[in-house]
Amino acid sequence: MMEGGQEAAAETDEEKRQMAGGYYSRVLIDEPPTDLFFERVSGAPEPPEDLRQLKLDLEGAAQSVVTFFRDDAEALLNFMERLQLAGQVGCCGPDYRIGEGKDSLESTKRQVLQKGYESRNRIWFEYTRYTLAILLPTVVAGFAIFAASTYGIYLPGPDAKGNFPPLVVAVLAALWIPAGAAFGVWTEFNFRTGNLKFGDLLSFDPERWSSGQRFFIAVMIGYLLAFVLAFGVIQIGLLGVLLNDFTGSRPWLSGVVGWVSGFSYPVVRDIIKTLRPSVRQQSEQSSS
* The pLDDT value given to residue 284: 44
pLDDT score, position 160: 80
Q: How confident is the model at residue 245 (pLDDT cuts 50, 70, 90)?
A: confident
Q: Is a pLDDT exceeding 70 seen at residue 157?
A: yes
Cβ 109 vs Cβ 57: under 8 Å = no
What confidence category does residue 96 fall into, taking pLDDT thresholds of 50, 70 and 90?
very high
Residue 15: its pLDDT value, please?
43
C-alpha distance from residue 286 to each of 162, 268, 279, 283 (Å): 57, 44, 22, 9
Mean pLDDT of 41-64: 93
pLDDT for the residue 278: 55
Range from 63-67, 161-165, 238-242, 280-284 carrying the lowest mean pLDDT: 280-284
The distance of Cα 123 from the centroid of its chain, to the nearest Å, equals: 13
How much is the pLDDT for 47? 92
Residue 201, pLDDT > 90, answer: no
- Give me the pLDDT at residue 138, please: 97
213-232 pLDDT, tens digit per residue, is 999 999 999 999 999 888 88
User: ∠ CA 184-211-128 to the nearest 5 degrees?
Assistant: 55
Residue 285 has pLDDT above 90, yes or no: no
Q: How confident is the model at residue 119 (pLDDT cuts 50, 70, 90)?
A: confident
Q: Could you tell me the pTM of the whole model?
A: 0.77
The whole-number pLDDT of residue 288 equals: 44
- Above pLDDT 90, what percent of the chain? 57
Note the pLDDT of residue 276. Answer: 65
Of the two residues 276 and 122, the one the predictor is more confident about is 122
DSSP calls for 232-274? TSS--EETTEEGGGGGTT-TTHHHHHHHHHHHSHHHHHHHHHT
Does residue 32 have a cis bond before it (omega within 30 degrees)? yes
190 compared with 275, residue with greater pLDDT: 190
237 and 163 in contact (C-beta within 8 Å)?
A: no
> Is the pLDDT reported for residue 151 higher than 60?
yes
Is 50 exceeded by the pLDDT of residue 283?
Answer: no
Q: Inform me whether the pLDDT recorded for 189 exceeds 80.
A: yes
Please state, rounded to an integer, the average pLDDT across all residues of the chain: 85
What's the pLDDT at 277?
60
Task: Compute the distance between CA of residue 274 and CA of residue 184 in angstroms, rounded to an integer.
Answer: 23
Alpha carbons 60 and 57: distance in angstroms, whole number: 5
Q: What is the pLDDT of residue 200?
A: 84
Question: 11-26, pLDDT tens digit by residue?
Answer: 444 444 444 568 999 9
